[in-house]
Structure 1
Amino acid sequence: MQTKTLAVTLFILMCAAFASAQSNDSVYSSLSTKSCRTIRSTSNEGGSYVGICPGVAGYKLQSEEGDLRQNIQVITPNGQKHSLELWNVVGSGFSALGEKAEWRVKRRNGKTVPVALILRYNVANPEDSTKGTSYLAVAKITPTKICITDKIAPGANANVAARNAADNAAAKPCLESSQ
């Protein structure tokens, strides 16, 4: 009986260790124009902006604005760009990104490996631009695809829901354009 109890206890401890080893952490990077390197900025016809913002583990974020709408392109460590198409997938109204990006990362062999990205995306109502909705956009980061998988509406547990969605994003399909 004592051997069986010891075996069950060891099994539970091994499962707990495996589960904690598989959990993701959050690392934050800034999307503030003060933290990003301006590539291009114009003020004519509503203005436009392109800036490169720091990321994690060799990734960068390219912040883009045109016609009062914003978007992010994720730049991989090898320089490939993946547009998140926020203005088509999350909302097409006038928009603004939040000030920070939340990277969901795994720690593997002492390295930080991004697996998902969470961005706040504030979208104006096309019928009344004084009203808007603040979504959390979740993007998966896999070796073959970076795209939006979830659009989390405002709510009491939106941050928890976004992290849960991010931690399961790798197996999800990309969201299609809302237009």
Structure 2
Amino acid sequence: MFKNLFFLSFVFVFAAAAFAQNKSVYTDLAADKCKTTDVDKGMPGNYSGKCAGVGGYDLEVYLDDERNSIGVVLPSKKTVGLDFWNYFGNFSALGEKAEWLVKDEKPVALIVRLNVSDRGDEKPPTSYLIVSKISATGACVTDVVKPGKSQNAQAQRLADKASNKPCKKIQ
């Protein structure tokens, strides 16, 4: 009897933990996969596009003077800018995909790759992962993950906890 009870407790704990985990859903950020919403023909390098999201949320992609950022379009249709250019002033390019962490069919966090070029340097860009929390009323950057061997896993761990973290201060 005790063994059966112990076994059932063990199964219940692990089932609850598995059930509570966020699920990753990937969407495209590439310009050819998003709908162009604005192009400034007088200023090369300026573009805005709307990309499909999940759970009633979408993303707006911004390119301004060869610097990229993203805005989260809430179900209310309000757009909240994540202002990546406030964290990096150098030229930048977004990765091809956005990773949404979803709980109960609603996004709770977002991970986006941002490739940042060093000024006047011929080295390859530095690839950061930007972690943001998302709620029904807003969104903000919580963490910037530097390159490293476990960068993806670290970003996912931070994203799992993002909803309880404060917004990252602009440097």
TM-score range, shorter chain: over 0.9
2:80 to 78, 82, 101: 82
Quote the residue 1:97 is aligned against. 94
Percent of paired sites with the same residue: 40
Note the C-alpha offset of 1:47.
Answer: 2.7
Other structure's SS at 1:58 match: coil
Quote the residue 2:130 is aligned against. 137
Note the C-alpha offset of 1:129.
Answer: 6.2
Other structure's SS at 2:59 match: strand
Note the C-alpha offset of 1:92.
Answer: 1.4
CA distance in 2, matches of 1:74, 1:114: 11
**Counterpart check, 1:152 vs 2:150:** no
More divergent stretch after superposition (53-62 vs 38-47)? 38-47
Note the C-alpha offset of 1:49.
Answer: 0.3
Contact kept? 1:94, 1:129, Cα under 8 Å: no
Quote the residue 1:65 is aligned against. 63
Contact kept? 2:75, 2:136, Cα under 8 Å: no
Q: Deviations over 1:31-71 (max 9, x none)?
A: 11111111111243443101111111111100011111111
Q: Deviations over 1:115-173 (max 9, x none)?
A: 11000001111353655311000011123431111111111111111111111111111
TM-score of the pair, normalised by structure 2? 0.93
Aligned residue pairs: how many?
171
1:115 to 108, 122, 131: 108
Structure 2, unaligned stretches of length 5 or more?
none
Contact kept? 2:142, 2:165, Cα under 8 Å: yes
Instruction: Report the AA paired with residue 142 of structure 1.
Output: S
Instruction: Report the AA paired with residue 157 of structure 1.
Output: S
CA distance in 1, matches of 2:122, 2:58: 31
Instruction: Report the AA paired with residue 92 of structure 2.
Output: S
Contact kept? 2:131, 2:141, Cα under 8 Å: yes
Structure 1, unaligned stretches of length 5 or more?
none
Other structure's SS at 2:114 match: strand
